[in-house]
Every structure is written in structure tokens, then in C-alpha cells.
Amino acid sequence: MADVQAGIGPFLGVFLVAHGWQSGSIGSVMTIGGIAGMVMMAPAGAFIDETTHKRICVIVLGICTVLASMIILLSQLFWVVALSQVATSIAGAAIGPALNGITLGIVRQAGFNRQNGYNQAFNHAGNLVGAGLSGWLGWMFGLTAVFWLSAVFGVLTIISVLMIPADAIDDDEARGATLAAVGPQGGVEPAMHRKPSGFKVLAESKPLLVLAGALALFHLGNGAMLPLFGLALVSAGHADPASFVALTVVVAQGTMIITSLIAMHMAERRGQWLVLLISFVSLPIRGFVAAHLITSWGVYPVQVLDGIGAGLQSVAVPALVARILNGTGRINVGQGVVMTMQGIGASLSPAIGGWLAQEIGYGTMFTILGSFAFGSVALWIGFHGLLRAAASVSSPPQGIVASGD
């Protein structure tokens, strides 16, 4: 699924350059796609909350992603490529909440943290294997082979989703439209189904707003770190562009496999608050390392730290949102809102980082980008009581109420 969700991703630019495109046009179509995906994240989550056909959604979205990628083989006109990127980005925005919804509907709230940890480990493994296969096939048979590989992964995704029994997914649990009750002996009684709360529950959820703000600040610093580090290395003559891209994927995704499993176990014992605090702290360290190790081997610690931050967040963020909004029926739209805030930070990061690099140099720029996460740390510690109550494994999730005296 990871390979289908990303489409042809990193190989699109290389493919378009080979067909005579200029960097400005390539950047434009990618920006158009990115904006479309960011705008559609919350509506996509809302749709997933409402639909009772989540398996079909994933199948349709996977097919759309493959077709949108394949159409570029037939035409490289600007509007065709732009529409392809819009379709791919919208599908990508919806696939994440859909898979989270299916997972939550199968394992329920109690099992979501563990299963999501396994999901993310396999997701990162899929990215790692997919990038390796794409690079090898592209080298052996040309970039066209990458498109066909995406189609093969699409077929495998459809088969995998169809293997999930439809009646195994509880649609009320999948959106958090249940209200568990804590009985007089402290045990959780059977959930009572109820209608979803209004969208105002998102604006009124202070823990969710703090989480979204902290993640926006983190990605404001993190979003441009890798591409600008690559530019710094290439400009200094320390890296070959093609091998650098492959190395960054391998190091980061390999680290994420390990950290996602660690996050799963840590969250079960200590809650998501500590997991996310560690992820926020990793960015200032990464910025400091990047500023002082602009060398060919500096990519290893820089990308290991990237894998730590991203791997921890990939598990802790969906689990925390599910706990905060449990009982509201708006879990997946909440996931979409948080993803939107992450996207806003990440989209602004390259512009800020690029300007800083031009004016004051790469080293100082990396330090400044890393320091944005101090804002995340400040929010996280400043609201630690509120957030610990929402994330702690020792307290009931949001939406659980006491019953009986």
C-alpha cells in the first residue's frame, strides 16, 4: 500500500526532465498536487467517517492512483500531468484515514495502538522495498518500468483489501462513534453506539488543537531539512544526486521500521505524550548535526534522526487523535485536520529554508530550522497536564464516561 499511496513519487521529476520539462514547470505541477491534497485532507477524513464502504474506498483510491500515474506515460502535457498530480494527491489524502478507519474498526480502540504500530512498520518497509525495486527496475529497464511496478502494487493492494471480511469492520468503532462506559468496578462495559458529534467538537478539543499546533511547528522546521541538506552536499561536491536520494530513503525508512515498533511498545507503557516529546526533541538535534556535518557521511546521522522523529510520530499521532476524539464519531476527520496542519508547516518550510540558506548560509539555516521544534516542545510541556490526561495509558480515552454508583 505504501508504494501505491506514493504513486511514482520521487521518480516523477526525473521522468519529466527526460521529456524536456524545466524545473519551474515540474515544481509547479508538484505544488498544485500538494495544495490539492492538503485542502482535501479534512473533507476526506469526514467522508471516511460517514461511509460504511471503507474497503471499496481503498480499492477505488488505489486504482485512481495507479491510473493517474499511468496516464503520464501517454501524455506529458502540462494540464495532463497537473491533473494526474491532483488526483494522486487527493487519493493519497484519503487513503491514510481510510486505512486508519479500517484498522480501528477491526481491532477497536483498545487494540489500535499496537496494530497501528505494526501497520507503520510494514508501511516503512514497503517504502524501503518499493524504492529499491523502483531504482533497480529504472536502472535496468528505464523509468517506464517504475510505472508498471506501481500497477503491480495496486493489484496486490486490491487483493489484500478483499481478504478483509466486510463484517470484520465495525463502522461505528472505525469513526469513534461509540461511548464506552466505565462500570463501578473500574471495568469497561460494552460500548453504546451513538450518532457522530458536530464538527465543532474539533475546535472545542483543546488537546487536539495543541497537538496540531505542535506538529505544524515541527514540520515547519523539518519539511525542508532533507532537500536542502542534499543541495548543500551537492553544492559542496560531496554527493551524487541519484545515489544521495537512494541513500536517504534507505537510512530513514530503515530507521522508521525500528522506531515505529519502539513507539508502539513505549506508548503502551507510558502513553503517547512521552513518545511525541522525544520526536520533537529530535529535530533541534538533527538541525545541529546537519549544520556541522555537511559531508558525505553526514547523511547517516541526519537521516537516522529523521527516521526517529517521523517513525515515532507515525505511530503516536494517529493513536493520540483516536484517544482524544473517541466517542465523538469524528476520529478520521480529526486525523485529516492534524494532517492538514502538518502539511501547512511542511509546505512553508522550503520557502523559509531556501531564503535563509541564500541569505546566511546552509549551516545557520539548519540550526534555525531545527529550532522551530523548540516551539513544539514548549507547547508540549506547557500543556503537559492536559495532554497527559488525553494520552496516558492509565486514564480512559476521551469519550469514556463513568456509569453506575
Helix (H) or strand (E) holding 29: helix 23-50
The residue count of the chain comes to 405
Q: What residue numbers bound the domain in which 133 lies? A: 2-172
pLDDT at residue 178 in the model: 67
Phi first, then psi: give them for residue 171, nearest 5 degrees: -70, -30
Are 276 and 153 within one domain? no
Same domain, 109 and 206: no
Question: How far, in Å, are 78, 213, 250, 271 from residue 274 at the CA level?
Answer: 46, 17, 27, 7
**Domain boundary residue among 172, 192, 220?**
172
Q: Which three cell numbers stand for residue 404?
A: 453506575
Burial of residue 29 (number of CB atoms within 10 Å: 0-12, 13-18, 19+):
buried
- In a domain? residue 190: no
Give the residue ranges of the chain where pLDDT is below 70: 1-11, 13-14, 23, 178-201, 238-246, 391-405
User: Is residue 131 in some structural domain?
Assistant: yes
Are 295 and 343 found together in one domain?
A: yes
pLDDT of residue 327: 79
The pLDDT, as a whole number, for residue 402 is 39
Note whether 119 and 253 are same-domain residues. Answer: no
Q: Answer yes or no: do 205 and 295 share one domain.
A: yes
186 falls within a domain: no
Question: Would residue 307 count as lying in a domain?
Answer: yes
Whichever domain contains 222, its CATH number is 1.20.1250.20
Q: Is residue 99 within 8 Å of residue 335, measured between CB atoms?
A: no
How much is the pTM? 0.80
Given a contact cutoff of 8 angstroms between Cβ atoms, the answer to whether 371 and 287 are in contact is yes
Is residue 84 situated within a structural domain? yes
- Report if residue 364 sits inside a domain: yes
pLDDT for position 218: 96
Same domain, 254 and 295: yes
Question: Count of domains in the chain?
Answer: 2
Burial class from Cβ neighbours inside 10 Å (0-12, 13-18, 19+) for residue 165 reads exposed
Phi then psi for residue 223, to 5 deg, are -55, -40
Do 217 and 146 share a structural domain? no
pLDDT at 395: 44
My answer on whether 91 and 231 are in the same domain is no
- Span 272-296, pLDDT tens digits: 999 999 999 999 999 999 999 888 8
Tell me, yes or no, whether 346 and 260 share the same domain: yes
- Whether residue 196 lies inside any domain: the answer is no
Residue (of 120, 370, 143) closest to 253 by Cα position: 120
- pLDDT digit string, tens, across residues 25-50: 877 787 788 788 888 888 888 888 88
Nearest to 127 by CA among 234, 303, 286, 9: 9
97 and 42 in a common domain? yes
Structure confidence at residue 263 (pLDDT) = 93
Please give the Cα distance from 219 to 310 (Å, whole number): 10
254 and 124 in a common domain: no
User: Do residues 14 and 154 share a domain?
Assistant: yes
pLDDT of residue 179: 55
Residue 183 lies in a domain: no
**Cα–Cα dist 382/205, whole Å:** 16
Cell numbers for 173: 468503532
